[in-house]
Amino acid sequence: MDVVNLKAAIEAILFALGEAISLQEIAQALDTSTEETKKLMDELVDGYNSGEKGIQIIQINTKYQFCTRPKYHEYINSLMNERSTSGLSQAALETLSIIAYKQPVTRVEVENLRGVKSSSSLQTLIDRNLIKEAGRLDAPGKPFLYETTFEFLKYAGITNLDDLPEYEVFVASVHSQEHEEVAIQID
């Protein structure tokens, strides 16, 4: 891959990952050296800093992350406000639904199911007091487990988790045979 493509690849990674990521991790993904990655990253950061852009790449310690420029904060706020009047965003709702049905569950499991980095949705739900940390999984890295709160039950209008609409029925319908299969013997 040439330099231009490598830079674009870093851009794509930063966007999709959402959260801060180290040069080492990026270098590994691109199968190149950390030094080379650093050089490309510097160019990329400069590119976003030259001219007037709405987004930028910030460096926190040794990690890098995309974020918006603070000066455009108010426009974003007004839009977010507009959208959140209808309750939770679709992203937060999806995240909440996974936790409700699969709890206790780690962030990684949520992200695997959604296919999108979900730390921001998780934070929304924690701040809304709909989910909480529930210990750590006994696995490498000891990731946090999440579960729904008592508040969740209250606002969902159910007395306990068993009152959630059953999803087994649904899973069965998805995985049931495409054809109503019938064994017929022909002679």
Partner 1 sequence: MDYEIKLQEFEGPLDLLLHLVQKHEIDIFDIPISEITEQYIYYINQFKEYNMELSSEFIVMAAHLIQLKSKLLLPIEENENGEEIDPRDELAQRIYDYKIFKEISGFIKSKEDTYLKIFYKDPEYQLINDDIITNIDINSLLEAFKKVIAKSKIEAKDEEIIIHKIQSETIRIEDKIKQIITQLDNNETVEFSSLFPHRPTRTNIVVTFLALLELLKKNVIKFIQYKTCGEIIISKV
- Please report, as residue ranges, which positions from 23 to 82 form the binding site for partner 1 (by CB under 8 A): 65-71, 73, 76-77, 80-81
- Closer residue to partner 1 (CB): 91 or 134: 91
Residue 37 vs 152, nearer CB to partner 1: 152
Residues 118-157 that bind partner 1 (CB under 8 A): 118, 120-121, 123-124, 127-130, 151-152, 154-157
Check binding of 91 to partner 1 (CB under 8 A). yes
Residue in 136, 81, 72 with CA at minimum distance from that of residue 107: 136
Closest CA to 30 of 18, 14, 45, 46: 14
Q: Is residue 90 at the binding interface for partner 1, with CB under 8 A as the rule?
A: yes
Backbone angles phi, psi at 106, to 5 degrees: -90, 165
Q: What CA–CA distance (Å, rounded) separates 150 from 37? A: 47
Q: Which residues are CB-contacts of 147 (< 8 A; sequence separation ≥ 6)?
A: 99, 103, 104, 105, 131, 132, 134
Q: Quick one: what does residue 65 bind among a second copy, partner 1, none, with the CB cut-off 5 to 8 Å set by partner type?
A: partner 1
Q: List the structure tokens of 130.
A: 């709909």
Structure tokens at 125: 């739900």
Residue 51 contact among partner 1, a second copy, none, beta carbon within 5 to 8 Å by kind? a second copy
Q: From the CB of 185, what's the least distance to a second copy, in Å?
A: 20
Cβ 136 to a second copy shortest distance, Å: 17
